Amino acid sequence: MRIIAGLAKGHTIKAPKGQSTRPTLDRVRESVFNVLSNWGLYKVSVLDLFSGTGAFALEALSRGASQAISVDKRTKKLIKENAIHCHLEDKIDILSMMIPQVGAKLAEQTFDYIFSDPPYEKGLIQETIQMVDTYHLLKPTGYLILERHEREEYSLPDTMECIRTQSFGYTRVDYCRIRT
């Protein structure tokens, strides 16, 4: 895995050993960032849930995001190592907690982009949506990006809508926003 563009372009990032983490493929991340670059990446705030390697947050920072918070219960040390390797450690906060605690911890903040890539088919996509909605973590002009298995379904609150879906084999990436 590597950072695709920006200040840290070409830096490799480590993934945890074993099958417990499924890092987002470079080609999926590149496609997501191609979409986001059309909406703007400079000086945005990013929340990366189920962060694993920290790749999404680090890619966003490399491309000009001003702030990123990376959340993963198990891989805080690995994310920190990857941030240091990419020379982005001063722009990232890393939280080691579960989704139910994240909302309360970040309740006073809002984000331009919230990326969620939980373990597939465990109901965590729905939990993410509920947390983001309950704590109003998404800016009115922001996007919630959900990576999921094609069979995993969810429902959005009436205040949100899905405006785009990308398919990569059995992986789906949905772009959701607050209804205007």
Q: CA 62 to CA 26: how far, in whole Å?
A: 15
3: pLDDT strictly greater than 70: yes
Q: Out of 3.20.20.140, 3.40.50.2300, 3.40.50.410, 3.40.50.150, which CATH number does the structure's domain 26-178 have? A: 3.40.50.150
pLDDT digits (tens, 9 = 90+) for 36-63: 999 999 999 999 999 999 999 999 999 9
Is the pLDDT at 115 greater than 90? The verdict is yes
Asked whether residue 21 carries a pLDDT value surpassing 70, the answer given is no
What are the pLDDT digits (tens) for 127-158? 999 999 999 999 999 999 999 999 999 999 99
116 Cβ contact partners less than 8 Å away, ≥ 6 residues apart? 49, 50, 124, 125, 128, 144, 145, 146, 147
Q: pLDDT at position 167, please?
A: 95
Q: Is the pLDDT of residue 19 over 80?
A: no
Confidence band of 28 (pLDDT split at 50, 70, 90): confident
Name the percent of the chain lying above pLDDT 90.
Answer: 78
Task: Give residue 18's pLDDT band: very low, low, confident or very high (50, 70, 90).
Answer: low
pLDDT band at residue 112 under the 50/70/90 scheme: very high
Contacts with 72 (C-beta within 8 Å, 6 or more apart), sequence order: 50, 51, 52, 54, 79, 94, 96
